[in-house]
Amino acid sequence: MLINVLIVVILIIGAFFTLVGSVGLLKLKSPMARLHAPTKASTLGVGSLLLASMIDAFAHREPSLHEVLVMAFLFVTAPISANFIAKVHIHRRSNVDALPPLPEGTEWATLDAPPDQKIEPSEGLR
């Protein structure tokens, strides 16, 4: 009986994180802000659901390592995919002027060439 209550609580926690991540994906406007919502939801929400499944399997004396493997794969691949999505966003961002201002003497790490090394498009086509 107590194990079932624990499983239900973990399932509710997992469902809550998944719901919050889905709503965050829909409501947040910036691509970089939207990136955090599904990443957190997949690791915390799905991780909690898999944990509840593992506890249920052990409670019924049918242990399975499938959930452990899925959880390990998820925890390894979610940050990597988030990193790749962030890199794509940085590559696609062409307007450096839209970035927030920085203190004097510092600059953003972007893919743009330094101002003294910029080549005009007409010069590069010769």
pLDDT per residue as tens digits for the range 35-65: 877 787 778 898 899 999 999 999 998 888 8
Rounded-to-integer distance, Cα 66 and Cα 70, Å: 6
Flag the least confident range among 68-77, 80-89, 107-116: 107-116
Cβ pair 41, 74 in contact under 8 A: no
Q: Do the beta carbons of residue 82 and residue 37 sit within 8 Å?
A: no
Per-residue pLDDT band at 119 (split at 50, 70, 90): low
pLDDT digits (tens, 9 = 90+) for 6-21: 999 999 999 999 999 8
82 Cβ neighbours under 8 A, 6+ residues apart: 35, 36, 39
Determine the distance from the C-alpha atom of residue 53 to the mean position of all C-alpha atoms in its chain, rounded to a whole number.
Answer: 23
Per-domain boundaries in the chain: 2-124
Q: What digits encode the pLDDT tens for the residues 18-34?
A: 999 888 888 888 777 77
Tell me the torsion sign for CA atoms 40, 44, 46, 47.
positive
Whether residue 41 contacts residue 20, with contact meaning beta carbons closer than 8 Å, is answered with yes
Q: CB neighbours of 119 closer than 8 A, spacing ≥ 6? A: 113
Q: Where are the alpha helices (DSSP H) in the chain?
A: 2-27, 31-40, 47-59, 66-92, 121-124
Pairwise pLDDT comparison (80 vs 120), residue with the higher score: 80
